[in-house]
Structure 1
């Protein structure tokens, strides 16, 4: 590099740093990455910056305020033909993400403030646990969806309730209490009631939470809801339902139900969620997509109920009379009506096809 004597148009690194509001260390870094190299050095080795260098530094500072990282600034200044429209679009998108994150943080802090105003002030460990869970659920829900989830909005309070319930279930498991025991059934029913409440009775939300807890070891550790504990709750809840159905069905019917109700149980949650999405989208009961779901619905129903019409009527009567049988199913009255309307259109179409075949 060329050495030169000092003149008014040249600044030493310290002088330039002071005028630009930077540190000498920052200018050293700019030099090391090739972003801003001094045009000359003094006889004693000091970095010297001329008018062109100072102008380049002004450009760098302007682009930094614009939000561009140093690597992108260097590439931009090296290529005068860079499409600025594309850069603007990228920066707008980046700012959009930052705004969304800031809104989520603001709502989270407001939520904590509301709880403090209401007199809820748990230990530090409770706050940290709540914040950790918020971060976990951020993975599977959008900010808008999170605001619709009561368990998220209630924060530390909901977390404390779930922690207490998980501890009670864990105590039964550790004590060797069978899932069919009355205490286990009682806790399982309470579990389902809380789950419906805290997910706003949205089957799609429940599906995502179940998937998260099944696959995310960190979520299992933070909540205490291990696969073993969850299965215990499901078994206890199934036993609870069977005890209610036993008031309406004979021994043969109950034997069939107990033998078959668990075989395809995993297919019900996604099916119910799919039906809810069709309803939310305003689909008519006679559309092909809804009718396909209805066929699947009655296929699963026949698998655990059997093919006897009398048994099916008993089960329907039990479901209408016993609120417990609807708990934890996410089947609303509107959904059942929707499915029955779809089934009626299928039956009408089948009858019409049969009549046409006979006429032929």
Structure 2
């Protein structure tokens, strides 16, 4: 093989002369010789090295990494491969996120009609918000993320009904307000896939993101109204089974430890999902914390606990919208029994 000038090598390799100049300047591919005129000359070994460089470039490797690898042929290649796999994973994740966004927009348009500019902007803003609080894998499991016209309309209708109730001065303790709050909590549990951690993140999103409040019309005042109405609704159900003093204690202390309860429910849910048995020390610790919060909320009388258990058995609505299932209560009881035993 006769030596090739830089223009000839560029034409044969599909690279530009400028690229070969750059490879020379960074020491990645230096010509083995130069003509009397000063032109670069490349021989067989140079062409073979260029072939390696191009192969590694197709693999996605940076020029600096290629230079390091070719300079130390005995260096372990596994680390380089691992880095490239990580890079590909990031690219796949980005492509998946883009695909999910396009799918959401497609579903938005499938409802018929041509979306207005404001519709496009609201949809894009909605997607951006959710992606700040949930991974792509989590979004696939989150019903709220799916564009469902009926679900969206159901939520819009409920928000309107609640805003109208507030506007006309309907007390949060009124049965009508309680029924609206029960619908709210049940829909929220359903649309978070029954996952309390998803619900907790949704709560944080609404608290921290002004744009979320604007898009959904769910203001802090509306959330507070729902919380008060739901609490009054649940107390009315408990009152059928508890003494007046017990109901009053729950009224005074029931909402004081909401965040601690939600954090505990999230942790218990994770334990159960991970298959951690009730007799494990960590589960027993959760049961102890559960009983501590229960005593703060309901008092320490064992008879009260039995009456509340009876209420849960006879009033399924008490557990709806709480992310506390009958299976979770059984898990806590089993952990407590093992701990007590």
Both structures adopt the same fold (TM-score exceeding 0.5): yes
Report the equivalent of 2:246: 253
Q: Supply the distance in 2 between the matched residues of 1:54 and 1:247 (Cα, whole angstroms).
A: 88
Match of 2:190 in 1: 197
* CA displacement at 1:299 relative to structure 2: 2.0
- Shifted more, 117-126 versus 80-89: the winner is 117-126
Residues 168-183 of structure 1 aligned to structure 2 (within 5 Å)? 179-180=172-173
1:11 pairs with one of 5, 16, 28: 5
For the Cα contact (< 8 Å) 2:107–2:147, is it kept in 1? no
For 1:81 and 1:291, the matched residues in 2 are separated by 53
Q: Quote the residue 1:304 is aligned against.
A: 297
TM (norm. structure 2) is: 0.76
Give the CA deviation at 1:121.
7.4
Separation in structure 2 between the aligned mates of residue 267 and residue 120 of structure 1, nearest angstrom: 46
1:327 corresponds in structure 2 to 320
Paired residues for 1:115-264 under 5 Å: 123=116, 125-126=118-119, 129-154=122-147, 158=151, 161-162=154-155, 165-166=158-159, 179-180=172-173, 185-214=178-207, 225=218, 229-264=222-257
Distance 1:330 1:255 in 2: 24
Do residues 74 (structure 1) and 67 (structure 2) align? yes
CA 223–178 in structure 1, closer or farther in 2 if over 3 Å, else same: same
Q: Distance in 2 between matches of 1:284 and 1:329?
A: 22
Task: Please say if residues 249 and 297 of structure 2, whose CA atoms lie closer than 8 Å, have aligned partners that are also in contact.
Answer: yes
Structure 1 distance, partners of 2:167, 2:27, is 64
How many residues align structurally? Answer: 338
Partner of 1:357: none
Cα distance in 2 for residues equivalent to 1:191 and 1:130:
22
Kindly indicate whether residue 37 of structure 2 is the aligned counterpart of residue 50 of structure 1: no
| Shift in CA distance, 21/176, structure 1 to aligned 2, threshold 3 Å | farther
| Aligned CA distance change for structure 1 residues 205 and 60 (closer, same or farther; 3 Å) | same
Q: What is the CA distance between 1:282 and its match in structure 2?
A: 3.5
Report the RMSD for the aligned CA atoms in angstroms: 4.1
Shift of 1:135: 4.6
What secondary structure, in the 3-state scheme, does the structure 2 residue paired with 1:298 have? helix
Distance 1:31 1:223 in 2: 58
Match of 2:53 in 1: 60
* Of 216-225 and 298-307, the range deviating more from structure 2: 216-225
Any idea what the Cα deviations from partners look like across 1:21-53, whole Å, max 9, x if unmatched? 23455456546655456665996x9x6453365
Are residues 1:90 and 2:83 paired? yes
1:76–1:148 CA distance, 2 compared to 1 (3 A): same
Alpha-carbon displacement from aligned partner over 1:277-297 (angstroms, at most 9, x marks no partner): 333334443333322222222
Q: Any idea what SS the aligned residue of 1:147 has?
A: helix
CA–CA separation in structure 2 for the residues paired with 1:112 and 1:132: 12
* TM-score calculated relative to the size of structure 1: 0.73
